[in-house]
Structure 1
């Protein structure tokens, strides 16, 4: 077990130490960039080998075609002028010396040379295609030749040999250029991969800093966006939305906790004092019953306040959005009015309604009904001895408006903006029953539904206008 006074272990946090090359090389981003560069280099090398192979085939095919064409021409010469004509062509090419790329030999059936240069093949070329190095009289060394030995109609052999030094030099030069281009492209890809990985690593380092800030309790921190709109930006935008949601939840929780700690302290203290006073005085059944009924009423008020605070916290945190669905607002308002019409009649009042049919909303029906109920309760409590309440609902310009109006004294204009604060009550209302949370809950419900609530003095009375976005048809 650790010592009682031992300091708690430090929280582990991920870091991106860009200034440490060894740790940078071990980073995931750099490994990905290196892998991408290796793949690109492999592709470049394979492409170079393919180009070299295809280029060699092309040059060889062109050479063979040239030799075959020469064989066809010499057979035509033989048909036109016999052996003398072919021998003459062989001498012409021989006299061209080093400039001649094609050489012709005329040989007997046994391979003995009749006409043409002595190329010193070592042995007569076999019939068909072959390759051999030879040393013409004008050359200082042996030269590679591509050779085709064909049979003439009289049985003699026609040997056509082509110097392939230039072809091989072309293939070698092009292959070298392609290889150098591939290596250059691979080097550029490695440099580009390094640059991109450094850029991503810097962005991740900034994200790491912001995440550490959030882990340390500062929920106002947000992950930085580059503004490029790439996949990483979209991911970070979603994370920021999650952080905003988390911050709103924590703020709501802190607010509810503060409200419970501060605003329930006075009624709880008063409840304790009344209980202690009842316990200290001599027992009297009538007085005790009256006192305990008052204590029970005080406890009910505290429980109602506590429940209202929790509901406001849930609404402001958006916890009730999971219950959103399309519902018939007209029917919901009619049911609420049916409930309160006899209550107002018993109080000597009147309820007038004008509800357009077919109004629909997308939201939480119970919360919307609670919002309207709170307005009815305010109208009952502050509408005078014979409360007269009017409710109308209609659709206009893509929104649904619900208007609740009473004929009471209204609210002083300087206090209209404060009645939505929690536990705020007008001076004339402090002696009446209530917690001062009804309008706070109504405002939270409207914000949850993307709407708004507005209060105004109707002279006489107070008018509350609830504006909801209408459900899409």
Structure 2
């Protein structure tokens, strides 16, 4: 069976990219809404203040032109500041209203944005008495001060909204991150981890509902997996006795080709039953490593030479390791058997420090198994007969996990060659840990 443990960075979700925390998104949303509200209110307040000041200025101009009208009717001449008779610059719209015998005011905006205020009234002799003033400096200063206050207030609202978003989103973001970390630990096979306990706190919100749902799902999956493991182990255990009897009976048959075929199939069935029992034990997470100190290069050289003298062993760098020799031998032999069954010679084994590499020169691991990793009863071969039962690498990965090691797989291609170029071989790499697990399954504490 060919397979692979997914390497970091190969999944779409592992690709580097811009990630923004929930609290920053919430802060940005509150700040944006605050900015929009502040801008809208500033515009409304500015326009309302400007209209109010213009109304006051028009009322003042209207009062002044009434006083000027009374003075003109008494003295026949304008004796009030900025009063003119028949001013040629009088706006046409205002002149039209006055010619109809009405007193009126008029506001026009100049090019610099400052308003121009007019007031006019008809007087005797068919003349038009008008007053022309601008927006007072005091009103302009008041409006500028108001605009400045609105800008400062808007900035304060945005900053306050950002701070409020961080304060609100911070605890929620931390709870979600703790929940995600705990869920990842559950996914990695730590059944005792509970998301609700990981997030802690006394706040009851949607994160509590999410945590309880994840915990319930993890418990249900764990129960289902445990039930399947027990069924598999029970079936395999019950098959051991009849398979052993079948093998014994086959050995009593008279010599010949039929006897050889029966013996071969009986031995294959016994191997399958033993492998299924081993997988069930590994799935139960009750296996513990029995540690010894060994010289890794010497150990691998002796074991490989006893298993298959044709395999080339190269010790690049010798290293003393603390591991379980029986499980290490099991992993090594399974990798060699997998290379012999699915690859092509020469098969090479190299030892470099704590790393063991097993390479063949066959067609490489199938792509779908490189993506999904070792899978039981899946060989990656279109013809399953005579090609094994797909438990070899599953057992190797399980035994490596018990030792605290990591087992990875890859195909060998020329440098820079695309994925569609046929592989030149397959490499299985066993990474032994620097600090092996204890016989209780835990890892020693570093001083």
Task: State whether TM-score is above 0.5.
Answer: no
Instruction: Identify the structure with bigger relative contact order (alpha carbons < 8 Å, sequence gap 6+).
Output: 2
Q: Radius of gyration: which is bigger?
A: 1
TM-score scaled by structure 1?
0.38
TM-score by length of 2: 0.40
